[in-house]
Amino acid sequence: MNNYEITIVGAGFSGITAANRFLKQGRKDLLLVDKSKSVGGRLATRRVAGGKADHGAQFFTVRTKEFEEEVEGWLDQGRIKRWFGDEYPRYTAVDGMNSLAKHLAKGIPTSLHTTVTRIVQNTSGFRLYDENGNEWQSEKVLLTMPVPQIIELLKDSEVRVDSSVYNQLKKVVFEPTYVGIYKFNHPTNLPEDGHVDTDLPEGMERMVDHEKKGISKETTVSIYMKSDWSRKYYGEDYVLSLIKEKAASYLDWKDLESEQLKRWRYAQAKNVVQSSFLDLSGEGTLVAAGDAFLRENDEAKRTRLESAYLSGKDAAAYFSW
C-alpha cells in the first residue's frame, strides 16, 4: 500500500498552491488527488464546437502583496494578461483559466479520477479510500474542496473533529451558479473587450464573448446567472432556453451553432470562515482550507481566486513535521 507524508484532496487553486508550497519546503512525498479528469476545479475552460469558453472564474483581482508577486511572475511569463478595470484590474489567463491551473500543477504528483469517499484515522495518521476501492496511508491530510463537500466526506469518515470547529464549517453556505455556453457562427455585437456586467436583464450576472476576450478563435459566449436566479431554477431542464430568452436582444440567436449548460452546485460561498484554514484535528494533522476560508483582515470579504491562493498558502505553512 502506498504511504505519503501528506495527501491534498482537491486539485483546485487552493490545493495546487498548497502542493507547490510543500514541494518548495522539500516535501516530495505528497499526493494531490481530484475526482475530476483534470486539475483546476472552478478554474474551468471547455471546448464547444471548435470554440473555447471559460465557464468558472472569468478573471481575478489582486489585493495582497504576496499574491501580486505571483501575478507579476505570471505576467512576465505571458501566462496571464490585464483584461479590464482600473481600481482593481481584472487579470485573466491568455489561453483560458484552466490552462493557468494546468501550468501551475506541472510537476506535482497527482492522481485524477480519484474521489475520496472515506478517511479513517489510525495510529500512524489516516487511511484514505476512493470510490474505486483503492486505499492509501497518509501521515497528514489537507482538504480543499468546497466546504459542503468537506462536511459530506467527514460524515462518512472516522476522524476526530472538535465540535466547535465542525460548527464553524457548518455555518458556511455555498450558492449555485448556472452558466449557459453558446457557440455562434458570426461575431457578436458585445463590447470590444467582450465583457458585460451592467444593465443586464434581471437574474443575469455577466456575459463574456471569448473571441473578444482573446482565448477562442471562434465566437463562444458564456452567460452567468446570479445565485438567487440559479437557486430558483436549480435542477429544471429548461434552464438553457430560459437564459436564451433573457438574452434575446443581446445576441443573434439565428447564428447559434451549439449550446451547453454548466451547473455549479457550489460556485461561491455566501457565509465564510474568518480564518484562512481550520485545524480539524487540533493536532495539525487534518486541516481544511479553500476559497471560503478568509484571513481575518481580508479586504474583499468574499470568496475568490485570491482567497483560494492565500488559504492554500497559509495552510501549507501551518503543517509541521
Ligand X SMILES: Cc1cc2nc3c(=O)[nH]c(=O)nc-3n(C[C@H](O)[C@H](O)[C@H](O)COP(=O)(O)OP(=O)(O)OC[C@H]3O[C@@H](n4cnc5c(N)ncnc54)[C@H](O)[C@@H]3O)c2cc1C
Binding site for ligand X (CB under 6 A): 9-15, 33-36, 41-43, 56-60, 114-116, 144-146, 149, 153, 177, 179, 224, 264, 267-268, 290-291, 303-305, 308
> What does the alpha-carbon distance between residue 5 and residue 137 come to, in Å, rounded to a whole number?
9
Sign of CA dihedral 309, 47, 265, 8: negative
| Residue 260 CB, nearest approach to ligand X (Å) | 14
Closer to ligand X by Cβ: residue 98 or 188? 98
State the DSSP string of 154-167: HHTSB----HHHHH
Copy the grid coordinates of residue 42: 472552478
Closer to ligand X by Cβ: residue 15 or 194? 15
Q: What burial letters (b/e) apply to 291-316, b meaning 16+ CB within 10 Å?
A: bbbbeeebeeeebbbbbbbbbbbbbb
Closer to ligand X by Cβ: residue 12 or 51? 12
Closer to ligand X by Cβ: residue 64 or 255? 64
Closer to ligand X by Cβ: residue 90 or 255? 90
For strand 135-143 and strand 173-184, is the pairing parallel, antiparallel, or unpaired?
A: unpaired
Copy the grid coordinates of residue 70: 505571483
Closer to ligand X by Cβ: residue 194 or 290? 290
| Residue 116 CB, nearest approach to ligand X (Å) | 4
Any idea which residue has 436582444 for its cell? 249
> What does the alpha-carbon distance between residue 61 and residue 24 come to, in Å, rounded to a whole number?
25
| Residue 231 CB, nearest approach to ligand X (Å) | 13
Copy the grid coordinates of residue 246: 433573457
| Residue 304 CB, nearest approach to ligand X (Å) | 3
Copy the grid coordinates of residue 293: 476560508
| Residue 131 CB, nearest approach to ligand X (Å) | 8
| Residue 188 CB, nearest approach to ligand X (Å) | 20
| Residue 303 CB, nearest approach to ligand X (Å) | 5
Which burial class, exposed, middle or buried, applies to 156 when counting CB atoms under 10 A from its CB (0-12, 13-18, 19+)?
Answer: exposed
**175 contacts 151 by C-beta, under 8 angstroms:** no
Closer to ligand X by Cβ: residue 6 or 305? 305
Alpha helices in 88-191 (DSSP H): 97-105, 147-155, 163-170
